[in-house]
Amino acid sequence: MTRYKISSLLRMLVVVLVLSFTSLVTAFDWPDQVEVGQLLVLDAPPDVACAWGVSGQDVDGVPYEPVWREFPGALVVSTQHGGLLTVSLTTDANRGLRNVTWCVAVGDDDGPDPGPDPIPPPPGKIFAVMIEETGDRDEYTPEQIQALIAKGDLDYMKAKGYLYRKVDQHVVEPDGQGGDRTPLAIASFLQRGKNQHLPRLIIADDSGAVLYDDVVADEASVLRTLKQYGGE
């Protein structure tokens, strides 16, 4: 085979690889920006072997390890801080695919606005977590303690089919490798509650956007707030 033919074949191979690489990125609607507390979901071909990597930098450029989990055909990342997430995807080289690096800006991490209470949107599907520090219960008011042990809010959320957890701020779950980790389903809630006054109720919609974030006052106000956002 002549040198010219070899060169032509190499150029054709490069074109095929570039097209395959481009199709992987453009075939999926990957976001380039999300809000703090909103789950980042990146789709990938379910029939292609994928190896993911995720790194993060906060708004000051300090690196941190994001909480993430791989599923068939998707990657889910908990956005714990404002700043930048960098996602790398290595795919099956046998199918002509290579590496993808994608950067996602995460919205400002200044915490909740201390201004007036937000006007809630029309009731819809919600997710909620009540966070406490069990070691500090002797510092809570009797009304707060009653809210923590109440059943009415649990019954309401269960009847609605909504996710609702009452947890200690240091709750963990098995990581499948003999260790522990922050529960993925509520990691963004726990991160948002860090260094805040507890006990605290945080409510998000089904997109992960935070609707409500405030200190628990009493049982009645908790149930009233859940119904305000989740419907009667």
pLDDT digits (tens, 9 = 90+) for 111-132: 444 444 444 455 668 999 999 9
Helix (H, G, I), strand (E, B) or coil at 60: coil
DSSP letters spanning 132-173: E-GGGGGGS-HHHHHHHH-SHHHHHHHHHT-EEEEEETT--E
Percent over 90 (pLDDT), the chain: 34
185: DSSP letter:
G
Q: CA 37, 43, 44: angle at the middle one, nearest 5?
A: 145
Domains detected in the chain:
3-106 (2.60.40), 126-230 (3.40.30.10)
Percent over 70 (pLDDT), the chain: 72
Do 132 and 146 touch, CB atoms closer than 8 A? no
Regarding beta strands 99-106 and 33-34, do their DSSP bridges make them parallel or antiparallel, or are they unpaired? parallel
- CA dihedral 183→184→186→192, nearest 10 degrees, is 100
193: DSSP letter:
H
Euclidean distance between CA atoms 213 and 35, whole angstroms: 15
- For 61: left if phi > 0, alpha if psi spans -120 to 50, otherwise beta; the answer is left
pLDDT: which is higher, 2 or 44: 44
Q: Is the pTM of this model over 0.75?
A: no
On average, the pLDDT of the chain sits at 77
| Lookup: tokens for 150 | 């109440």
Of the chain, the end-to-end C-alpha distance in Å amounts to: 76
Q: How confident is the model at residue 3 (pLDDT cuts 50, 70, 90)?
A: very low
pLDDT digits (tens, 9 = 90+) for 24-59: 444 456 787 888 777 777 777 666 677 778 888 877
pLDDT digits (tens, 9 = 90+) for 190-230: 999 998 999 999 999 878 889 999 999 999 999 999 999 99
